[in-house]
Amino acid sequence: GESVGLHLPTLSVQEGDNSIINCAYSNSASDYFIWYKQESGKGPQFIIDIRSNMDKRQGQRVTVLLNKTVKHLSLQIAATQPGDSAVYFCAETPGGGADGLTFGKGTHLIIQP
Amino acid sequence: GAGVSQTPSNKVTEKGKYVELRCDPISGHTALYWYRQSLGQGPEFLIYFQGTGAADDSGLPNDRFFAVRPEGSVSTLKIQRTERGDSAVYLCASSPRRENTEAFFGQGTRLTVV
C-alpha cells in the first residue's frame, strides 16, 4: 500500500555540522508534508511544513526540500546542536482538509560532541 | 494547562481488561486526534474529532476501540478486552482548526498489556 518512509534509521553527525534527513513518499495525492521531532518520552513536536506547490521552505536552522518528481522530501538542519538529538519523522496528508497524518518510521539523529 | 495533557502517563493492565485513556486538549481547540505509536514506529492515526463528533474513525483497528468527546473538549479512548498487541504509546493531539499544521501533541499514555 502507499506509505511514507525513511531511508536511514540512524544518522550520526558531529556537533556543529549540517545534517540531512531523507524521506520517500509514495502517495501521489499528497499535497502537504510536515517534519516532526520527537524526543524520548515526549510527543512529536512540529518543526516545519511544506505544501506541494513549493519545493523549498526555510525556518530557523532548518530547511525542507520537496522533489515531487521523485517523491522525495528532506530536512536539513544547519549547525547541529546537542539538543537536536531526537527521532525525526516526516508525515504527509492528502490535503483538502484531510484528517489524519501518515507518518514514516523515523530517523534517529545522534549528535556527537 | 498550557499544553495537551494525557492521563495516565503509564497504564499496565491484564489481557482481557477494559481501559480508558484520557486527553485534555488545549483550551479552545476544536480538532482532536488520537494516534497510536508502537516501539520504533511512527504514530498511526486512529480517530479525529471536530467538536463533539467523530469526523473520521477510519484508523480504529477494530470494534474493541472506541472514543468519545461528549462536550467537545476532553476525549476518552476506550479499549475493551485488551490484547497484548494493544501495547503501545497512545498519543493525543489538538488543533485550533482542521488543518494539521497547528496540531500539538501530548506526551502520550504508555499502555502495557500483560
| Predicted pLDDT of residue A3 | 47
* End-to-end Cα distance, chain B: 32
Between B26 and A7, the higher pLDDT residue = B26
pLDDT grade for A27, boundaries at 50, 70 and 90: confident
Instruction: Summarize chain B as % helix, strand, coil (round to 5).
Output: 5, 50, 45
Query: Average pLDDT of chain B?
Result: 93
List of chain A residues whose C-beta atoms are within 8 Å of the C-beta of residue B58: 100
Q: Tell me which DSSP letter residue A98 carries.
A: -
pLDDT recorded at residue B101? 64
- Per-residue pLDDT of B83-103, as tens digits, reads 999 999 999 999 887 665 678
Q: What is the pLDDT of residues A73-112, one digit of tens each?
A: 999 999 999 999 999 999 998 665 556 888 988 999 999 9
Residue with cell 494516534: B35
User: In Å, how far are A8, A37, A38, A104 from A18, measured between CA atoms?
Assistant: 16, 16, 19, 22
CB-based contact B101 A44, cutoff 8 Å:
no
- Dihedral angle sign, alpha carbons of residues B68, A45, B40, A8: positive
Sheet strand arrangement including B65-68: B5-7, B19-24, B75-79, B65-68
- The residues, any chain, with a CB within 8 Å of residue A69's CB and separated by 6 or more, are none
State mean pLDDT over B36-42. 91
Put simply, the answer to whether A46 touches B98 (Cβ < 8 Å) is no
Query: What number of other Cβ atoms are within 10 A of residue B2's Cβ?
Result: 7
CA distance A100 to chain B (A): 6
- Residue A83: which residues within 8 A CB-CB, separation 6 or more? none
Q: Is A101–B106 a contact, with Cβ atoms under 8 angstroms apart?
A: no
For residue A88, which of A26, A17, A38 has the smallest C-alpha distance?
A: A38
Could you tell me the pLDDT band of residue A16, with boundaries at 50, 70 and 90? very high
Compute the average pLDDT of residues A40-47.
Answer: 93
At A11, is the secondary structure helix, strand, or coil? strand
